[in-house]
Amino acid sequence: MKRFSILLLLLLIFSIQESPAQKRKSERAYAAFNAGEYYDAIDLFKDTYSKTNTSDKTARANIVYMIAECYRLINDPKNAETWYKLAVKSLNPKPDAQFWLAESYKKDGKYLPAIDEFKKYKQIAPSDSRADQEIRACELSLEWMRNPEAYKVEELKDLNSKESDFSPAYGRDDFGVIFFTSSREDASGNKTHGATGQGFTDIFESRIDKKSKWSTPLPVDGINSEFEDGTPVLIGDYKEIYFTRCEAGKREKKGCIIMHSVKNGDEWSEPKNIGILPDSLVAAHPALTPDGKTLYFVSDMAGGSGGKDIWVATRSGNEWSKPTNLGPDINTSGNELFPFVRDDGTLYFSSDGLIGMGGLDIFKAVAQPDNSWVVQNMKSPVNSSADDFGIIFENGNERGIFSSTRKGRGNDDLYAFEFPPLKFNITGLVKDEKTGAPITGSTVLLIASDGNNLQAETGASGDFKFVLKPDVDYIFLASKKGYLNGKEKETTKGQERSRDFMVTILLTAIDKPIELPNIFYDFNKWDLRPESMVSLDKLVETLTDNPNVTIELMSHTDSRDTEEYNYELSQKRAQSVVQYLIEKGIEPERLSAKGYGESSPKVVDAVINAQSPFLRLGATLSEQYINNLANDEQREIAHQINRRTEFKVLRTDYESPKK
């Protein structure tokens, strides 16, 4: 834009000074620059450059650098880039020229070239940590653009003009009235800033009609002056307004002050300085809590972190406390500007000193119990490579308005933003655990933590679908005759983006014994080893999900000992499993234990054959078959397969007497 100082100008110490009656254009150019009249200084420097002898390379290099600086300070990165390129190539270039060339690339959204230029600056100034931060900022910006937040952003064309329009504030509880700052032609006064080439700003008002169209903005009567007026905030049923006024005088320097006015009927009272700081200091960009007792504002007074900082003061009666700096969590050596505080105390502000996408980025800060702040960049698309600032919200809703220079015309514009309602869907499949085949006609019960339960039946491909709500835990319980119930869990809690979930529920057929994996005992012992508990806890969960089922626990040994001993050992092992389940709350009437010793050797199925190809598919792992295997290693594997714990379903109509 052509008025970066529109962002900072309300903060700078204003003075319009008579240019010294000096004959040389060079002196006039430097005088304009030193007075903050960067817009005027550009033409003066260019004129000086054209008339400087080409053999005076040092003088020409200095002028090129000054032109680049002017373009940077009026926030015109495209032109700044052009002149910094010349400055870098000139005789004995200033190191800062290389840094600001990289910044110009970054602010124009050219992140990869910016990284290259920052790396060159690191070679020139290896001790300057800014380069590493800016390289990281460029890398993150590329990532944020690839994966933007879900906000929808739209330009408010009804409100924007060809001049600067920024820093909105709502003026009614239905958010149908907006106040904002503008330098458009209807603003009061006829002075033009040498820093921006635009007129002084005023506060304008617009109302939305039944067709959601904003009316033509008009200056707010009774508030605006011949000076800079802007950055409004309204509180107290929208009958009190605080705003910034930056005066300018020819013979004295005046800072920016915070003004206050009260609405009586349709008229605003004469604005008065709240006196938060002496008039010679900058106090700007007011943001107040809804009760009007806490004020956040911007100042460059002594005691800050450098540049412009955010300060806070509290009110008792009509007196404001001594301002306190918000500290290093918020403030940096750069500029922190345009604070806004939501009803829940969350603070939003803009900064060019924290890691961001370009010039000013919008940040969200949440206060912690220890008085620290957790600060987050709002990322793309709210932030961009341009300046993004002056955000407001519709109370607790995730929508509002902010200001940005992203359109590329050089001026600030207003943009509406909204975080669309989160939408969640789940598509599921119910399959046979053993074969992987879809199970048609199974019943799926959705059990939600908010108390809303739903039911669906799977289609021909075993599929089901549900629409889910935000911030809810879900259980999906599938059932089908001839199978144990199965379940899966999902949650939408903590989800910040709309999402389609996928889930597969596996059901286990009950027509055959079901093996419990990883049930281990020490040699010749029946006490359960700790690593067995995971598998048994899953069995507890299965029995809980299938409350009408009774089962028989079946323990098997290998053939290496007498049949009598193996029967006894397997019976004790089966009973130890039953005892564990009882201790976990499963009713004893639902459980029986039986040891089979070596009497039921395993039949090799496809899974076993795939894991141990030397075991023939369909073979029974009898003692004779195992003894005929090729070597001891194969025989040990076969014995281990026979040593197993299984269960089979006896009944599916059990009813607990506790009901």
23 pLDDT band, cuts 50/70/90, is very low
User: pLDDT tens digits, residue range 68-81?
Assistant: 999 999 889 999 99
Q: Mean pLDDT over residues 179-201, rounded?
A: 77
Counting residues of the chain whose pLDDT is more than 90, the rounded percentage is: 76
pLDDT value of position 530 = 85
| pLDDT at position 10 over 50 | no
Q: Which of 384, 337, 295, 252 is nearest to 11 (CA)?
A: 337
What domains does the chain contain, in order, with CATH numbers?
A: 17-146 (1.25.40.10), 152-411 (2.120.10.30), 424-507 (2.60.40.1120), 514-651 (3.30.1330.60)
Contact 382, 364 (CB under 8 A): no
pLDDT value of position 18 = 33
pLDDT value of position 621 = 94
pLDDT value of position 5 = 43
Q: Mean pLDDT over residues 592-606, rounded?
A: 93
Cα(77)–Cα(30) distance, integer angstroms:
21
Q: Mean pLDDT over residues 441-458, rounded?
A: 96
User: pLDDT tens digits, residue range 539-558?
Assistant: 999 999 999 999 999 999 98
| pTM (2 d.p.) | 0.72
Cα(621)–Cα(304) distance, integer angstroms:
81
DSSP class of residue 439 equals -
Ranges assigned E (strand) in 78-161: 152-155
20 pLDDT band, cuts 50/70/90, is very low
Other Cβ atoms within 10 Å of 447 Cβ, number: 15
253 pLDDT band, cuts 50/70/90, is very low
User: pLDDT tens digits, residue range 199-252?
Assistant: 789 999 999 998 889 999 999 999 999 889 999 999 989 999 999 998 864 334
Other Cβ atoms within 10 Å of 477 Cβ, number: 18
Of the listed ranges 4-8, 190-194, 420-424, 448-452, the least confidently predicted one is 4-8
Q: Residue 295 corresponds to which tokens in the numbers above?
A: 């004020």
Contact 510, 646 (CB under 8 A): no
The residues, ordered by sequence, that sit 6+ positions from 162 with a Cβ below 8 Å of its Cβ are: 184, 409, 411
User: pLDDT tens digits, residue range 610-620?
Assistant: 999 999 999 99
User: pLDDT tens digits, residue range 481-517?
Assistant: 999 999 999 999 999 888 999 999 999 999 999 998 8
Q: Which of 328, 294, 322, 292 is nearest to 309 (CA)?
A: 328
Pairing relationship of beta strands 309-316 and 324-325 according to DSSP bridges: antiparallel
Cα(573)–Cα(388) distance, integer angstroms:
70
Residue-wise burial string across 571-601, b where 16 or more C-beta atoms lie within 10 A, e elsewhere: bbbbbbbbebbeeeebeeebbbbebbbbeeb
Q: HSE on the CB side for 164, CA within 13 Å? A: 35
User: pLDDT tens digits, residue range 114-168?
Assistant: 999 999 999 999 999 999 999 999 999 999 999 999 899 999 999 999 999 999 9
pLDDT value of position 407 = 82
Contact 154, 382 (CB under 8 A): no
pLDDT: which is higher, 193 or 633: 633
| pLDDT at position 3 over 50 | no
| pLDDT at position 255 over 90 | no
Of the listed ranges 17-21, 164-168, 435-439, the least confidently predicted one is 17-21
Q: What's the whole-number average pLDDT of the chain?
A: 90
Burial label for 164, CB within 10 Å (0-12, 13-18, 19+), is buried
Of the listed ranges 498-502, 529-533, 584-588, the least confidently predicted one is 529-533
195 pLDDT band, cuts 50/70/90, is low
Length of the chain: 659
pLDDT value of position 395 = 87
- 267 beta partners: 264
Cα(96)–Cα(477) distance, integer angstroms:
65
**What letter represents residue 74's amino acid?**
I
The DSSP-derived string for 523-535 is: TT--SBPGGGHHH
User: pLDDT tens digits, residue range 36-72?
Assistant: 889 889 999 999 988 888 888 888 999 999 999 999 9
Cα(284)–Cα(260) distance, integer angstroms:
12
Cα distance between the two ends of the chain: 74
| pLDDT at position 531 over 90 | no
User: pLDDT tens digits, residue range 84-120?
Assistant: 999 999 988 999 999 999 999 999 999 999 999 999 9
526 pLDDT band, cuts 50/70/90, is confident
536 to each of 63, 488, 573, how far by Cα in Å?
81, 18, 13
